[in-house]
Amino acid sequence: MIERIDTGQRMSKIVKHNDVVYLCGQVGDGATVAEQTTECLSRIEALLEKAGSSPDRILQAIIWLPDMADFDEMNAVWDAWVPAGAAPARACGEARLAREALKVEIIITAAYGA
């Protein structure tokens, strides 16, 4: 069974299937990479909770930065947020994001249920 949560015309914020939860890409507000990453991760936590999951059940993270020069600043926030011993498979690449003001976007796949 596929369950879609917070579905609009273009996308669902959460899709659940076979004990896996997929989150749409998350961004955050703020002037700096650290501020945006912090808010982005807060949004991810809220969506994971709504889906019946949590940060320690993240399987994979895909992170997009429009400028890889911001890699260390993003990682400082990420490293403090990821639960000890629960680092997911992860990729980080450089890409132009949907709006020029965005400095980070994170896409999450996580386990839920049993």
**What CATH number does residue 61 fall under?**
3.30.1330.40
Look up the domain containing 52 and give its range. 2-111
pLDDT band at 10 (very low <50, low <70, confident <90, very high): very high
Residue range 20-31, pLDDT digits in tens: 999 999 999 999
pLDDT band at 113 (very low <50, low <70, confident <90, very high): confident
Distances in Å between the alpha carbon of 113 and those of 13, 49, 74, 77, 91? 18, 12, 30, 28, 25
Side chain identity, residue 27: V
pLDDT at 114: 62
CA 94 to chain centre: 16
- What's the total number of domains in the chain? 1
DSSP-assigned states of every residue in 49-79: HHHT--GGGEEEEEEEES-GGGHHHHHHHHH
pLDDT at 20: 98
Cα pseudo-dihedral 50, 55, 61, 67, rounded to 10: 100
